[in-house]
Amino acid sequence: MQLSIKSADKLKPIPDSSALSFGTIFTDHMFNMDYNPEKGWHNPRIEPYAPINMDPSTMVLHYGQSIFEGLKAYRTGSGSIQLFRPKDNFKRFNNSCRLLCIPEVDENFLFDSLKKLITIEKNWLPDAPGTSLYIRPTIIAMDPFLGVRASYTYRLFIILSPVGAYYSAGFNPVKILVTKDHVRAVRGGLGEAKASANYAASLYAGEAAHKEGYTQVLWLDGIEQKYIEEVGSMNIFFVIDDEIITPSLNGSILSGITRNSVLALSKSWGLKTIERRITIDEVMQAHASGKLKEVFGSGTAAVISPVGELKYGDKVITVSDGKVGSVANKLFKALTDIQYGREKDTMGWIEQVI
Ligand code: COI
């Protein structure tokens, strides 16, 4: 496939990198590619960032057949640009395709196209501490049709957004509400796909949590509502005694790339890391007996996000005295040192763009 490139006539002003929030500003160009059953994926192109023209009957608007990814490009101290584990994102993109009945994509071609897009947009790479270029590959169902079935046609696009911290708190503890009233996903559903529908399912409880002053929701399993799953935009870790515990991947939890990196780094430091089922009662008891040392989330957007407070039913617990714990701190430093090229990448996680 031949990638075509059309440059924007007029470039937008590039924002001050020290004042960036998350996901509000987009660069001058985007990548687009279409699918139909006759041609397969075709017409890959980098072109000016623009709205997508859609018939009101377009299937994605009605039945939510849509998936996405989230990854970041980082500017290093020497001015080069690098990506963190991008091939894992494209692999997961194809896993999501399979679950949502979307035709799979050529991961290597997408990776090469992404590198071209970032190279064109290199001036948009912010350089203030903690900033990066967030990358959002997405696929949407494009048939103009109201019957319920998998679409025959699709649009794949990649947009880029210079970002600062995902949470306005930055690298500071957030407050999380454990919900008993709602579930995000169930076994056999879409939980492990990065499907837009999972995020739609998270909104009601998220809004309720915000009203109570909590940043995000911690989800319990959809069947017994006992076992901890994940937070809407992050996987979750508990440090109990000297063990780092995270829920095992059970089909309804997203297989986070940062989650996997946390496990790999912790293991490489000789820490005890365990993937297993863990109940909310076990966490509350560990707190009561003084064994719950830390709770933190992991995600591309959030990196490592310490949790300072958890509310479950009537109980509110403070974790690590509401401060950043030492394990979260060490992981945040190690991950960001690799991502920003301050430390050598001994894990093979970095892909150089320029
Ligand atoms: C990410 O961490 O990239 C995510 O996809 C979370 C989110 C902003 C939906």
pLDDT for the residue numbered 167? 87
Report pLDDT digits (tens) over 32-71. 999 999 999 999 999 999 999 999 999 999 999 999 999 9
Above 90 in pLDDT, residue 168?
Answer: no
Place of tokens 């290199």: 122
Does ligand 1 come within 6 angstroms of the Cβ of 70? Answer: yes
Closest ligand 1 atom number to CA of residue 69: 5
Would the CB of 286 count as within 6 Å of ligand 1?
no
Ligand 1 centroid to Cα of residue 321, in Å, is: 27
305 CA distance to ligand 1 centroid (A)? 13
For residues 193 and 235, what is the distance between their CA atoms, to the nearest angstrom? 14
The residue to mutate among 300, 304, 339, having the most atoms of ligand 1 within 8 angstroms of its beta carbon, is 300
Residue 16 has pLDDT above 90, yes or no: yes
**Tokens (6 digits) for 241:** 């005694």
Is the model's pLDDT at 342 over the cut of 90?
yes
The domains found in the chain, sorted by start residue, are: 4-163 (3.30.470.10), 174-339 (3.20.10.10)
Q: How far is the CA of 16 from the centre of ligand 1 (A)?
A: 23
Q: Is the CB of 202 under 6 A from ligand 1?
A: no
Span 78-111, pLDDT tens digits = 999 999 999 999 999 999 999 999 999 999 999 9
Query: Residues 5-13: what's their mean pLDDT?
Result: 98
Pair 84, 71: CB distance under 8 Å: yes
At 203, which helix (H) or strand (E)?
A: helix 203-211
Instruction: Note the pLDDT of residue 63.
Output: 98
Other C-beta atoms lying within 10 Å of the C-beta of residue 73: 27
Whether 187 has a pLDDT exceeding 90, the answer reads no
- Ligand 1 centroid to residue 43 C-alpha, Å: 28
User: Do 48 and 8 meet the contact criterion of CB atoms below 8 Å apart?
Assistant: yes
Share of the chain above pLDDT 70, in %: 100
Per-residue confidence at 169, pLDDT binned at 50, 70, 90?
confident
| Average pLDDT value for the chain | 97
Tell me the CA–centroid distance for residue 70 and ligand 1, in Å.
Answer: 6
- Res 170: pLDDT: 82
The model's confidence at residue 232, banded by pLDDT at 50, 70 and 90, is: confident
Residue 134 CA: nearest ligand 1 atom is: 3
Identify residue 106 by its one-letter amino acid code.
D
Average pLDDT, stretch 330-338?
98
Determine the residue of 92, 192, 198, 233 to mutate for testing ligand 1's pocket, defined as the one with the most ligand atoms within 8 A of the Cβ atom.
233
CB of 125 closer than 6 A to ligand 1? Answer: no
Q: For the residues 128-138, what does the mean pLDDT come to?
A: 97
Q: What is the pLDDT of residue 32?
A: 98
The residue whose C-alpha atom lies closest to atom 3 belonging to ligand 1 is: 70
In angstroms, the CA 331 to CA 237 distance is 12
**Distance of CA 9 from the midpoint of ligand 1 (Å):** 31
Least confident of 1-5, 135-139, 164-168, 258-262: 164-168
Instruction: Encode pLDDT of 298-329 as tens digits.
Output: 999 999 999 999 999 999 999 999 999 999 99
Cα–ligand 1 centroid distance for 233 (angstroms): 5
Q: Are 7 and 45 in contact (CB under 8 A)?
A: no
Ligand 1 centre from 166 Cα, in Å?
9
